[in-house]
Amino acid sequence: MQVIPPALDRLIDDLGKLPGIGRKTATRLALNVLRRPVGYAQELSQALAELHASIQLCSCCFAFSESDPCGICADARRDGELVCVVEEPGDLMAIEKTASFRGHYHILHGVLSPIDGIGPDELKIQELIARINSGTVKEILIATSSTVPGEATASYLIDLLQNAPVKLTRLACGIPMGMDIKYADRHTLARAIESRSLAK
Amino acid sequence: MQVIPPALDRLIDDLGKLPGIGRKTATRLALNVLRRPVGYAQELSQALAELHASIQLCSCCFAFSESDPCGICADARRDGELVCVVEEPGDLMAIEKTASFRGHYHILHGVLSPIDGIGPDELKIQELIARINSGTVKEILIATSSTVPGEATASYLIDLLQNAPVKLTRLACGIPMGMDIKYADRHTLARAIESRSLAK
């Protein structure tokens, strides 16, 4: 007995492949699409169909962009001597939202993860070295996440770039803004104590 | 400064209209689609484009179906004298999964919610009455959710069908299977006591 029409089932299957979307959520989303006017499904369909066609990787920083070089790399007002190395395009977006960084980026497109077969060759690391060798970069700000694979990737980069003619920096690690010290985990608190800064 | 390419931004906007998907989740999903081979986006796009074209409402029970009448209404082995009234197509799927119900369904496509302007005329209630008047139905099992609007809809239906020539039943309410009584909320526990059944 076919309770779910095949066309709906196919959409549920496809949505269920997205991260964090299980079959139950996929079913809820698909039924929601079906309940809306047909225009919404058509609009979403078209946005998906055109996605890859109009977006490419910037050949300099490897961000997703509709132009090459991307808007950030092409922006003369930004500081091309400072390059922030991030794991994913989403990290770039998060940093841009702070409006605190006026340099360029370099997107690794992943983190080192031997268990998943992701070594240095799977990331944009050779491209980073080529960028450094081109001579325009003066500082590399390593902004990988403060997770185990993020830290491992950062350590690898620091080793690799030990003798490169650039200043190497990392994001500060410490108590998040607005957090009560009581609720900070002990590793973060220990790191905040080690990295304490002068108050006056 | 355009950080998010317009084509990506458009997909994020569209995905963010789905229930439970905020802008952050929509961004994560859209970036995930972008990282996958282009085939996935095309497949999802096509599933969405074809969704409404191949799915219609069954003119008898108002389930989503590729045929009219739907597979359940057309199935001669099912009991057309027993009709289970549910809020949404998802409820039908949940009941079908139990394999405990062999009757037909009637989908209201919503619940009464005066605050959202949803009155009886917005639901498939006239159609339910027409079905009862056609004379084939002997029992109406009201299976709306045990939520405030679900209960209100059930009460409305019970009032409305008071003198209809059918038996009116409701889903049993009580302690969920496998739940420790200590953790049941007091309303559920009170209902389970009121509705206690003979043990021997």
Boundaries of every domain in chain A: 6-53, 79-170
Higher-scoring residue by pLDDT: A85, B181: A85
Distance from CA of A154 to the nearest CA of B (A): 22
CB pair distance less than 8 Å for A41 and B20? no
Set of chain B residues whose Cβ sits within 8 Å of the Cβ of A31: 64, 88-90
Q: Is residue A148's pLDDT more than 60?
A: yes
What separation in angstroms does the CA of A170 have from each of A86, A124, A143, A155, B117?
A: 11, 18, 6, 11, 55
Return the number of other C-beta atoms located less than 10 Å from residue B130's C-beta: 10
Q: Is residue A200's pLDDT more than 90?
A: no
Set of chain B residues whose Cβ sits within 8 Å of the Cβ of A21: 29
For B1, the closest chain A residue by CA position comes to A71
Q: What is the pLDDT of residues A1-14, one digit of tens each?
A: 567 889 999 999 99
Set of chain B residues whose Cβ sits within 8 Å of the Cβ of A14: 40, 43-44, 47
Distance from CA of B149 to the nearest CA of A (A): 19
| Burial class of residue B182 (count of CB atoms within 10 Å of its CB; 0-12, 13-18, 19+) | exposed
CATH class of B6-54: mainly alpha
A168-177, B121-130, B191-200, range with greatest mean pLDDT: B121-130
Is residue A12 within 8 Å of residue A25, measured between CB atoms? no
What count of CB pairs under 8 Å joins A to B?
Answer: 152
- Mean pLDDT, residues B149-157 taken together: 93
Query: Does the predicted interface ipTM exceed a cut of 0.85?
Result: no
CB pair distance less than 8 Å for B90 and A11? no
Distance from CA of A193 to the nearest CA of B (A): 32
Q: Is residue B95's pLDDT more than 70?
A: yes
Set of chain A residues whose Cβ sits within 8 Å of the Cβ of B47: 7, 10-11, 14
Distance from CA of B163 to the nearest CA of A (A): 32
Best of B4, B24, B40, B45 to disrupt the A interface (most A CBs within 10 Å) is B45
CB pair distance less than 8 Å for A48 and B44? yes
- Mean pLDDT, residues B124-141 taken together: 94
Q: Is residue B98's pLDDT more than 90?
A: no
Q: What is the pLDDT of residues A157-166, one digit of tens each?
A: 999 999 999 9
Cα–Cα dist B57/B173, whole Å: 30
Q: What is the pLDDT of residues B5-48, one digit of tens each?
A: 899 999 999 999 999 999 999 999 999 999 899 999 999 999 99
CATH number of B79-170: 3.40.1360.10
The domain defined by A6-53 carries CATH number 1.10.8.420: yes
CB pair distance less than 8 Å for A14 and B49? no
For B92, the closest chain A residue by CA position comes to A3
Cα–Cα dist B38/A123, whole Å: 20
Distance of alpha carbon B128 from its chain centroid, rounded?
16
Is residue A92 within 8 Å of residue A57, measured between CB atoms? no
Mean per-residue pLDDT of chain B: 90
**pLDDT > 70: percent of chain B:** 98
Q: Is the dihedral of CA B158, B160, B162, B165 positive or negative?
A: negative
